[in-house]
Amino acid sequence: ALQGDSSGLKFVNVASLLSVLKGNPIYAACVRLEATINDKKKIYIDKVEALMYVLQSLSDYLSQQSSEHTLLLFEYLHRHTLNLVLHGDWGKNNAAKQHMTFVFKRFETIALKKNLPSVTEHIGTLLELLTDPWGNITLSKILNGDRCTEEEVLNLIKTEMGLVLIVRLEIMAEARLDIQALRLIEVCLQCVTNISSSHLFQSYTDEIIYIRDIYLILLVRTKNSAKVLNEVNQMSLVEGLKLVRRCTKGDRLARLRKSRIKMADVVANMALVSAMIHPITEEAVLHDMIEEWYNLHPDTQVLFRLLKNMMINAVSSQHIYLLGQLLVEKYGETEKLQCVELYIRALTVNLNELEKYKSNSDQEKV
């Protein structure tokens, strides 16, 4: 029931989880929770109560017997819990805070007795966050654009790297607090790439990929083309392809779907422009990237306009033939004229190359 997206980051597959829980005493509570969380009409306190009911049910179940699904269940509940804790406004919902504190402490006690160290650690973090979800001094400095020492930043990132940091960034991105989120991501990336501290984050490869994806989404959304191009230029074509696929397939970052599709388009376009001006070394990868790019443009009129610009950058007819081959496969029956035009362009490039070799008396290439 644990399912990874193509970055490797693990998420609980809710449908699979519920299917294995049928007959379990907390099955109904999980179904109710999922419905409540996804119901836009439900207010914050409704979602907290539904979550606390599941956690209490899990606590009761754990205190009586060991459950083979405990860790899986907690993994599922952990993301929901973090999301609600970090959305907490205790001035308005102090009762919710008190309820959460009581349930967390009880769960922590049971997890200790059952020797579930990872659960105990997560609960400890949640209890700390409950006090003031966004009140960490270093975090406040970063979000406000104030200077922090390397030690302050490192301590924060070490503490929050993983799901806490990811959920924070998702919340900020969904609230369109793009500048603040970018500040946090940039100090995070400095930590994980710094020679003196990168070894501390070697086990967080998948999380870092996920954070970089959010980073690119926000850079595109804030129209920071220079930084986007810099990021794309540091990727191989394979890495670019993986990124595009992560952002066009599956339900990751579901609430940012429009933004992530836009980012995928920008990245695919930049990666292809770069590929067009270099000799083809990985034809299969280039083939797949072109295919993804075509899929991002279902409007053929827009696609053909972009395609003409793309062809201008092509350094060889091989590039254009590949563009044409995929165009024929996708639109050959309905857009014959455009496909023929593309092949004529490739043939023209071939003839021009031939004339060039003739004029240079390069008989071998002729």
State pLDDT tens for residues 304-333: 888 888 888 888 878 888 888 888 888 766
Residue 301 placed within a domain: no
One domain, residues 174 and 60: no
One domain, residues 15 and 127: yes
- Res 333: pLDDT: 67
Residue 338 placed within a domain: yes
Do the Cβ atoms of 220 and 228 come closer than 8 Å? Answer: yes
Residue 302 placed within a domain: no
Residue 339 placed within a domain: yes
Residue 3 placed within a domain: no
- Res 309: pLDDT: 84
User: Of 177, 202, 222, which residue is a domain's last?
Assistant: 222
One domain, residues 237 and 263: yes
Task: Tell me how far apart the alpha carbons of residues 160 and 156 are, in angstroms, rounded to a whole number.
Answer: 6
At residue 5 the predicted structure's pLDDT band, cuts being 50, 70 and 90, is very low
One domain, residues 13 and 129: yes
Q: Which residue, among 206, 271, 197, has the nearest Cα to 232 in the 3D structure? A: 271
One domain, residues 149 and 124: no
One domain, residues 100 and 79: yes
**pTM of the model as a whole:** 0.86
255 vs 103, higher pLDDT: 103
Lowest-confidence segment of 21-35, 83-97, 273-287 by average pLDDT: 21-35
Residue 343 has pLDDT above 70, yes or no: no
Residue 112 has pLDDT above 60, yes or no: yes
Residue 1 placed within a domain: no
One domain, residues 185 and 274: no
Q: Could you count the other beta carbons within 10 Å of the beta carbon of residue 180?
A: 20
Residue 58 has pLDDT above 60, yes or no: yes
Lowest-confidence segment of 7-11, 37-41, 306-310 by average pLDDT: 7-11
Mean pLDDT of the chain: 84
**160-191 pLDDT, tens per residue?**
998 999 999 999 999 999 999 999 999 999 99
Residue 67 has pLDDT above 60, yes or no: no
Residue 112 placed within a domain: yes
Task: Tell me how far apart the alpha carbons of residues 126 and 85 are, in angstroms, rounded to a whole number.
Answer: 8
Query: Which residues constitute the domain of residue 180?
Result: 135-222
In terms of DSSP H, where are the helices of the chain?
Answer: 14-21, 27-37, 44-64, 70-86, 94-113, 117-131, 137-144, 150-160, 163-174, 178-193, 205-221, 225-233, 237-248, 257-276, 283-295, 300-313, 317-331, 336-359
Residue 253 has pLDDT above 90, yes or no: no
One domain, residues 290 and 346: no
343 vs 298, higher pLDDT: 298
Residue 291 placed within a domain: yes
One domain, residues 232 and 150: no
One domain, residues 121 and 201: no
Residue 275 has pLDDT above 70, yes or no: yes
User: Of 82, 100, 133, which residue is a domain's last?
Assistant: 133
One domain, residues 17 and 129: yes
335 vs 295, higher pLDDT: 295
One domain, residues 42 and 124: yes
12 vs 222, higher pLDDT: 222
- Res 349: pLDDT: 60
Residue 347 has pLDDT above 60, yes or no: yes
What is the total count of domains within the chain?
4
User: Of 73, 108, 133, which residue is a domain's last?
Assistant: 133
89 vs 10, higher pLDDT: 89
